[in-house]
Amino acid sequence: MTFARGADSSRALRGARAFVHLLGDASYRRLLLLWLSVVFGSALLYFLGAVLGQPGLREQGSPVGGGFDGALTAIYFSFVTATSIGFGDVVPVGPMRLVAVLEGAAGLLVFGIVVSKLVSGRQELLTEQIHRTTFEERLGRLRTNLHLVLSELQAMGLEDAWRASNHEQLTRRMESAAMVFSGELHAIHDLLYRPDQVPDEIEMEALLANLAACMREMSDLVHRSPENMQGFTLRASLTTIRRQAGEICGNCVPREYAPELKTWMDQIQDLSHRLG
């Protein structure tokens, strides 16, 4: 018996939670209509009690009748009960006290859900704004870092700088540029394969163009550098770059892009093979 009562209580609790979630998913219009239905439905019960000769409301100690004034009083009492104001000038008596309690609870429930939806909507708006700002800052850092990597690679690629730099210094510069570039390539890879947000096509084309330019400069430097300059750190970074860049092509990424973007993606994949 105890087990059965516990199971019944658990089912009732799940049912109540499901009902509250159902109300939470309802629109503001539906919630308003539900609240008004509770108010006027309860007012009708108060009024019918008076019509049937069993007044359920008292005003200043006198029973509320079933005429027009009684109907207005029933509606008035129902509104102040549903909003939990309760001036005390009209009070329920007899069975109508239970109706008043249930109406107050229903009114509070619906009102609480409306407030919760308003707060939740505001939080979602603020969260969306934060995500958008963070995403724009992320794209800004990505553009800046790619530009810095490209400038560094182009500086290392100049013949004068190539002859003036010793192998150890040049190796460190290449390793540093390759590590930064590997991180930014990973970020672009995520934009293409796991996009929480997707930049517009102009922004994406600029990123892919800068990525291809960096790949081209790095490939030229790698092929021009002596074998003893390619240390473990640089080789590890180049392996990561080849793998991730090799996964970028017009027909590889899960999202559909414009033909111009697919052309850049295919160029990046072709350039990845030149790093091998």
Return the number of other C-beta atoms located less than 10 Å from residue 180's C-beta: 17
Give the pLDDT confidence score for residue 134 in this predicted structure. 85
Give the pLDDT confidence score for residue 227 in this predicted structure. 63
Single-letter amino acid, residue 29: R
Question: Could you say which DSSP state residue 66 is in?
Answer: S
Residue 6 has pLDDT above 70, yes or no: no
Residue 110 has pLDDT above 60, yes or no: yes
Q: Report the range out of 9-13, 154-158, 221-225, 263-267 with the highest average pLDDT.
A: 263-267
219 vs 210: CA distance, rounded Å = 14
Give the pLDDT confidence score for residue 78 in this predicted structure. 94
* Alpha-helix residue ranges (DSSP H) falling in 158-226: 159-164, 167-193, 201-224
pLDDT single digits (tens) 149-177: 999 988 887 755 555 556 677 778 888 99
User: Residue 7: pLDDT band by 50, 70, 90 thresholds?
Assistant: low
Structural domains for the chain: 13-123 (1.10.287.70), 158-274 (no CATH)
Q: Global pTM? A: 0.58
Q: With contact defined as beta carbons under 8 Å apart, do 138 and 187 qualify?
A: yes
Give the pLDDT confidence score for residue 160 in this predicted structure. 53
